[in-house]
Amino acid sequence: FPGGGLKDGEDEEDALRRELKEELGVLALEILKPCGITRELRHGIKGSDTVYLQTSIYYLCKVHAFGDQQLEVREQLHGLEPRWVTIDDALRQNESVIKDDLHQTKGLKTVLIRENHVLRTLKENNLCANLKSSVSI
């Protein structure tokens, strides 16, 4: 899932629009509805030993126009590329990365486990029937 934190002065929908523009190149979208929320305790943000509560809000959106991505340097270095895939394909991709010892960077496994939980919930509750989701690979 595309995502990131709130910047000063942003609300959740402002951050959603900004992150979708940066990571996927979305220029115009319609926010249809929030479709889920997760809360988890995370450890060691940016190298510290602190513990913090991360809240992630998921929205169902309809995209009307795409432009160029505006990836951060670290995202460019990781070769992130948006692809539209089915929920089942996203689940399979995430599971393969979770099991691959070469991709066990700090925090990645936790993120993918959370994403798979959300994807399974969307699928089980038929919230995205006939829709495709975007994952950055």
Residue 54 vs residues 6, 38, 41, 45: alpha-carbon distances, Å: 11, 8, 6, 10
**pLDDT above 60 (res 110):** yes
Per-residue confidence band for 135, with pLDDT thresholds at 50, 70 and 90 = very low
- Read off the pLDDT of residues 46-105 as tens digits, 9 standing for 90 and up: 667 888 888 999 998 999 999 988 888 877 777 777 778 888 999 998 898 888 876 666
Residue 128: pLDDT band with limits 50, 70, 90: low
pLDDT given for residue 85 in this prediction: 86
Predicted pLDDT at 109: 80
Dist CA 132 CA 33 (whole Å): 16
Could you tell me the pTM of the whole model? 0.76
Domain locations in the chain as residue ranges: 12-136
Q: What pLDDT score was predicted for residue 136?
A: 45
Of 39, 68, 58, the residue nearest 1 (C-alpha): 58
- The residue-averaged pLDDT of 30-45 equals 84
Q: Is the pLDDT of residue 129 over 80?
A: no
